[in-house]
Amino acid sequence: MRIPGGIGLLLVGSGLYWILSSQLISSFTVLTPDLFASSSEGVSLVLTVGVACLAVGLWIIREDLESLVGLFNRSDGWVFTIPILLAVADISLTLSGLSSGRAAELNPLVASTIRLGPMILGSFVISYMALSEGLGLLMLDLGKSLFPPNAFRAFPFALVCGAAAFGPASNFVLLALPNLQWSSYAIGGIGATILATLIHLHFRGREFVTDTVVS
């Protein structure tokens, strides 16, 4: 049975995230704070899930890495680095927000992680990048299945990149013009739409199918 592209990277990224969460369960996650803080069994469960995801992800990640090498070696390989660049941009803008005292208005998950020190931050960056690029690969694989015409096989990838661009775009506006807090969301939406459209147009008329994404 063929494993869809990107699953290895997604499992590695999510495994690292849950391992970090198990060690910092009372403060790391802002989505469900203190959910398992009083339960040692809950912490052990989160750690076990994280280790299992990481182990399985590392076992099957080779195919994803080979696919990425093939994509990056294309003449337009820079397009496939966009998920990673957006993840780095999100973290960098939140770092800038911390220095300006406005991090709480940006990505709260990244902001809470940054405050825990460089080792935790480094692990989180690896997790964030693996999740971002893994999702990109998965969308390329999904596009191959949904859209037989070559020009549309990158359409799901373009949509995901556009969605990922919303955060960095709105955060940039919020840092540059703090008084435009609500307007930053509209501008972020416009930026996300523009990026998705540009990526889709980039692949129109191009031969998208390669041996790296089609078995």
Q: What gap in Å lies between CA 178 and CA 187, rounded to an integer?
A: 13
Q: Is residue 214 included in any domain, yes or no?
A: no
Number of domains in the chain: 1
Q: Is residue 92 included in any domain, yes or no?
A: yes
Q: Is residue 211 included in any domain, yes or no?
A: no
Q: Is residue 70 included in any domain, yes or no?
A: yes
Q: Is residue 209 included in any domain, yes or no?
A: no
Sequence-distant (6+) residues with CB within 8 A of 120 are: 20, 24, 28, 113
Q: What gap in Å lies between CA 147 and CA 150, rounded to an integer?
A: 7
Sequence-distant (6+) residues with CB within 8 A of 176 are: none
Residue 215 has what pLDDT? Answer: 36
pTM of the model: 0.80
Domain that holds residue 122: 7-203
The sign of the CA dihedral 67, 69, 71, 73 is negative
Q: Is residue 208 included in any domain, yes or no?
A: no
Q: What is the pLDDT along the chain (215 residues), one digit of tens a residue?
A: 678 889 999 999 999 888 887 766 544 454 455 555 556 666 777 788 889 999 999 999 999 999 999 999 988 889 999 999 999 998 888 777 777 665 555 556 666 676 777 777 888 889 989 999 999 999 998 888 887 666 678 889 999 999 999 988 888 888 887 776 677 788 889 999 999 999 988 887 665 544 444 33
Q: Is residue 36 included in any domain, yes or no?
A: yes
- 60 exposure class (CB count in 10 Å sphere: 0-12, 13-18, 19+): middle
Helices (H), 147-213: 155-176, 181-203
Q: Is residue 210 included in any domain, yes or no?
A: no
Look up residue 101 and give its DSSP letter: T
CA 82 to chain centre: 10
